[in-house]
Amino acid sequence: MIYGKRTIDRWGCVAGAAVLCAAMVARASATDRHSVIRHVQQRVVKIFGAGGLGSLAPYASGFLVSPEGHVVTVWSHVLDAETVTVVLDNGRRFSASVLGAEPPLDLAVLKLDLGDYPPDLSHFDLESEAGTASVGTRIFAFSNMFQVATGDEPVSVQRGVVAAFARFPFRRGAYVTTYDGPVYVVDAVTNNSGAEGGVITTLDGRLIGMIGKQRRHADTSAWVNYALPISTLKQPIREIITGTFRPSTPQERAERTPKNYRPRDFGLVLVPDVVFRTPAFIDAVIPGSPAQKAGLRADDPTVFDNDQLTQSIRDVEESIGRLQPGERLRIVVRRGDELIAVEMTAPAKPAAP
């Protein structure tokens, strides 16, 4: 019995030690997470500017990338104001001006007017604190969504997972997301009003992406929660800050647009593209083509393509250029007072030029 009691005591002690150890690890992990959250929150700022009409919120998020007050955010209507105000984590408010922007990347860099404020701000070091993530990586998302903070209140924090790393066709709107590169798709509701310009980080605080604007998937109409990879933005950010950045020209942006297919691959001949926003009229339909079989005719003006409002021939060409084999092309044309919708499938192999 004594031996048995000693055995019980021994294993009871081990079990107790295990529970105590687990509790200590949990507390340490919680402490580490809290430290990471505070570390990142001190680097995320609140931005207030233009907006307030309709569904356009007059606020956004951003993050500091230098001790001198350089702030990275999304290029949006919020910056279209005479005065843009940036509020730090500690509640200090500063006027800011747009130092540079690259709209095709949805990127803008602001410079705070610090005045006599000491230029030693907490910030992300893009060389040592930025990186990439793989699918399945657990992340934190930080932003001032829904204007949860206006002064020294901390910005919001969410937990999620990188669900995919892929290109997504976004629905166009009044303020177009022209970025067509890869994004981190996040399993968390991150892209809310005011969240654009916030950041996603790994659980240890490594910066991996900037939260983008609110957008719907062009095929499913589902809202997409995504972030632009910091690896894509890092070089232009550095060039804007150093004054060596040269904005891309419309021709260069056109050259970056995928050209997997052309209108002719579907049997469409559009009118000549002679001005910046040439209306997307069908000039001719190739006999025996998918377009003819779908019922399209010459002189039909294209109103929507793949559920996106068509403003010019270039819109149609870019939308068709992004298609992959087997994907559907949906076109809505106006014929008299009637809207006619047709659907065609991208061929397995695009036609030769």
The answer to whether 95 and 38 are in contact (CB under 8 A) is no
pLDDT at 260: 81
Q: pTM of the full predicted structure? A: 0.65
CA distances from 128 to 205, 207, 253, 258 (A): 11, 9, 30, 33
- What CATH superfamily classification does 258-345 receive? PDZ domain (2.30.42.10)
| Structural domain 42-256, CATH architecture | Beta Barrel (2.40)
pLDDT at 174: 37
From the CB of residue 268, how many other CB atoms can be counted at a distance below 10 Å? 26
The confidence band for 219, taking pLDDT boundaries of 50, 70 and 90, is low
pLDDT in tens, 102-146: 888 889 999 999 988 877 899 999 999 998 898 899 999 999 999
In 3-state terms, what secondary structure has residue 329?
A: strand
pLDDT in tens, 305-340: 766 667 778 778 877 887 778 888 889 898 988 889
pLDDT at 154: 94
| Domain boundaries defined on the chain | 1-37, 42-256, 258-345
CA atoms within 13 A on the CB side of 73: 34
pLDDT at 15: 47
The lowest-confidence range among 74-83, 251-260, 333-342 is: 251-260
Are domains 42-256 and 258-345 of this chain identical in fold?
no
pLDDT in tens, 188-201: 999 999 999 999 99
pLDDT of 27 higher than 60: no
Integer-rounded Cα radius of gyration of the chain: 26
- Which of 137, 121, 105, 125 is CA-nearest to residue 201? 137
